[in-house]
A and B are shown apart, each in its own frame.
Chain A
Amino acid sequence: MTVILRAENLSKRFGGLKAVDAVELELNDGEILGVIGPNGAGKTTLFSMIAGSIPPTTGRVLLEGNVISGGSPRRAVRAGVVRTHQIVRPFQNLTVLENVMVGAIYGKARPLGARERALEVLDFCSLRDRAPQLPGGLTLAGRKRLELARALATEPRVLLLDEVIAGVNPAEALHMADLIRSVREKRGLSIILIEHVMPAVMRLSDRVIVLDAGKKIAEGKPQQVVKDSRVIAAYLGESASAAASAQPGPAGSPTPTSGAAPASLPTPPANPTPASIPKKGPGGHQ
């Protein structure tokens, strides 16, 4: 397995707050890497640095050995790394198609055939019949898929997805999970996925890393990571960790957490496995 993206000693300081603290990260080609952690752990900040939206305080990000961090997001997008936003940010004044065309035109500075490429991506994300509408008319799930489509249109190699499943209804969540999987299978992308919806993370990710208070506290197979005492402590507070059986943490994680965030381990929405539900059609909005 070859490493496609590597973050070295990545930190971000906001005044006195260390939002991200010396995080090391490797993403293998074709892998889906889950990133979990309580609210305010620094997940989004980590993405912003990888995507070039904000410069890191220390450290750097390499895509196949080339530095992409510290410049503009454009540098990262040209190299092939693109993000979506946790709070969706469609261009409200452009139609769905034009939103995606912006990605297709500016992602790789290739205006020719942008319309056709955008339409193909819309098809892929089951948004084709929404093409001439304004994004204001889409459901939240639709806008999340638009966010994904706009990113895909830049023809990335690495896709950073920030909570694209959280907040949508169970059927839409399954649809999105399918979509993410086919992004990897059909388009050959490597994906880093921030997600609070645990069942989705568990099923989609090949590997998971856990952030808490800016630090990486665990890393490994999803099933192992959720049993890690430090992870449980991070989500439920110190007292809970004593009760939890101490599982040997997989990867070398630096320090145990202290003063962890309040209990916020999200409850899984009661839903069956994605495969058992027929895929929802593009028009399927509530």
Chain B
Amino acid sequence: MKLLPHWVSRPALVALLAALVVGAVLPKVLGLSVYSQNQVTETFLFVAAALAWNWMGGYLGQVSFGHSAMFGLGGFISARLLLALHLPFWLAWIVGGLVAAAYALVWGHPTLRLRGPYFSIATIGVGEATRLVMTYWEDLTGGSSGLSLPITPGLKSELYWWALALMALVIAASYSLRKSTFGLGLLAIKSDVDAAADVGISPTLMQDIVLLLSGFTVGVCGAFYASYQNFIEPGDMFGFDRSISFVLMAVIGGVGTIIGPALGAVVFVMLRQYLIGSYPQLYLGIYGLLLIVVILFEPLGMMGLFFRIARRFGLMRPEVEATLEAKAAVGGGAADPGARQGGAP
């Protein structure tokens, strides 16, 4: 009897379950302070967000600099629902995520016909336009004075497990999105959108679906973040820094790999904590340097390093390693819009 689709490997499932169990007992075993536990909660949250960003940026090769729009929208919608209707918070999150997904589709459907860099620049516009409008839309966001949310310490520690569950779900989704037949179609689109269309794929439909999923998840993360903070304001939720942070987590860990952005998020949260504490004047420039160094020397980030080590020590068959690396490759080989069919090769 087959319970699971063929592409679900047993080791992957076991690893995920083990991680879940470890995550669940960790605070008890280590006797984490409230502060540290909150840090871990936040890390879980950003692991989920970075992975969801990677569905667009890594799986499809459509790098978004505008994901703060969905993060913020999810956050403020659910905050308003919590304040006004006293909904259970998980319900508020889902509604926040749905609104964020719908918003993603509104701007994404037209702009997704742009490939690669053109799409990316359009997303800078999306992020900035959204931030501007939201900062002035006081009825929703409270303007520059923001919104305060009633969070009890008890709820905050309960959110640890919710964050863990959210992260586990998103990891599982990342895995399925890559390994399923749908994921194969996404890789084909990333490699060559026209050739993919010529064998029957509908790139528009598939890209829209991925954007919906990514927007929903990032929206839920924003909603979670909102109910986790005592106070949110549009400058932080919709800020450019926020969008950059998703990009950085994925780039540090390895854009386009399945698990890389999760590692990147862990490193990024710690790094940001340190930088904001020690070099508040410098953190943006250090992000920039990180981007430059990673792209120049190891475009697949930490996963690229891992692949290198695996090759060196023969941990993986070179052939397997090469195919994994090819799937992750930043940007794939999408057809140049200016390219034209020439003469015989």
Contacts and interface: CB of A to CB of B under 8 A. Distances in A.
A53 B198 contact: yes
Contacts of A86: 341, 344-345
A102 B185 contact: yes
A140 B200 contact: no
B237 interface: no
Contacts, number: 111
Interface string B184-195: 110110111011
Interface stretch (B91-99, B134-142, B306-314, B320-328): B320-328
Nearest to B322: A134
B323 A106 contact: no
A77 B200 contact: yes
A108 B332 contact: no
A279 interface: no
Contacts of B341: 44, 85-87
B73 to A, nearest CB: 31
A262 B326 CA distance: 42
Interface residues of A, number: 45
A163 B192 CA distance: 20
A51 B192 contact: no
A109 interface: yes
The 9 A-B pairs of least Cβ separation, nearest first, read: A77-B200, A91-B191, A89-B195, A106-B200, A111-B181, A93-B326, A166-B344, A103-B199, A107-B200
B197 A72 contact: yes
Residue of A39, A88, A105 with most partner-chain B CB within 10 A: A105
Interface of A: 39, 44, 51, 53, 72-74, 77-78, 82-83, 85-95, 98, 101-103, 105-109, 111, 114, 132-134, 140, 150-151, 153-154, 163, 166-167, 196
Contacts of B197: 53, 72-74
Contacts of B191: 91-94
Nearest to B201: A106
Contacts of B326: 92-94, 134
A102 B343 CA distance: 27
Contacts of A107: 199-200
B336 to A, nearest CB: 12
Interface in B179-218: 181, 184-185, 187-188, 190-192, 194-202
Given A95-B323, A98-B184, A111-B181, A74 B200 contact: yes
Interface of B: 181, 184-185, 187-188, 190-192, 194-202, 319, 322-323, 326-327, 329, 332-333, 335, 341-345
Contact of B187 (A53, A91, A106): A91
Q: Is the interface of A mostly helix, strand, loop or mixed?
A: loop
Contacts of A93: 187, 190-191, 326-327, 329, 332-333
A154 B195 contact: no
Given A53-B194, A102-B196, A102-B199, A132 B323 contact: yes
Nearest to A94: B187
A153 B322 CA distance: 25
18 contacts: A72-B202, A78-B200, A83-B198, A85-B341, A86-B344, A86-B345, A91-B187, A91-B196, A92-B326, A94-B187, A94-B327, A102-B188, A102-B199, A103-B200, A106-B201, A163-B344, A167-B345, A196-B344
A101 B187 CA distance: 12
Contacts of A167: 344-345
Contacts of A163: 344
Given A91-B187, A132-B319, A134-B322, A73 B200 contact: yes
A174 B264 CA distance: 52
A91 to B, nearest CB: 4
Contacts of A89: 192, 194-195, 335
* Most chain A CB within a 10 A radius of its CB, from B323, B335, B341, B344: B344
Contact of A85 (B187, B198, B202, B343): B198
Nearest to A45: B341
